Amino acid sequence: MREAFHRIFRLLHDLDSVTVAAVNGAALGGGAELATFCDLVVASETATLGQPEIKVGVFAPIAVLHYPLRVGPRRALQLLLSGRIVGASEALAIGLVDRVVPADKLDESVQGELDRFTAHSAAVLHLTKRALRERLGLSFHLGLSQLEDLYRYELMAIEDAHEGLRAFAEKRKPVWSNT
């Protein structure tokens, strides 16, 4: 089971598409890991999140890797060592979720977030996500050097980049190919 579960995260990690999670109710253990691994997490006011694994004598491998990036190492350690469950407002305050909305507005709010992403070039969104993911942990100079090459040789090879720049110069809305 663990191998299959971790395969999901390997696939999500390598996915260039934007991922959005909607949390309504309890997201504990693997559910919290799955939700918080997404690029954007929208939670209802009644949502709770936590990693209670420590209480049964194990730890959450994905949370151990991912939570320090999401909430910082000290906060991640506190959450993982205590097994404490946090409510939506605290999850927002510490960065475990990105937005909290009333429960009856969750679907509408998630759709609004999705609409914001789909208003942009899918190709450029994919490249941006990949650029960030592949440069995490690199020194500034090495990362910037790699990004300059990525920008020049990959981004500028995408028609949507040219369309966006043309639209800006012509003071009009771009028409994306969304490929």
CB-based contacts of 78, cutoff 8 Å, min separation 6: 84
**Secondary structure letter of residue 176 according to DSSP:** -
Distance CA 149, CA 11 (A): 26
Q: Could you confirm whether 45 is annotated as catalytic? A: no
Annotated active-site residue in 53, 90, 113, 170: 53
Structure tokens at 22: 């909607």
The two structure tokens encoding residue 128: 């941006």
**Residue that the structure tokens 């663990």 belong to:** 2
Q: Which residues are catalytic?
A: 53
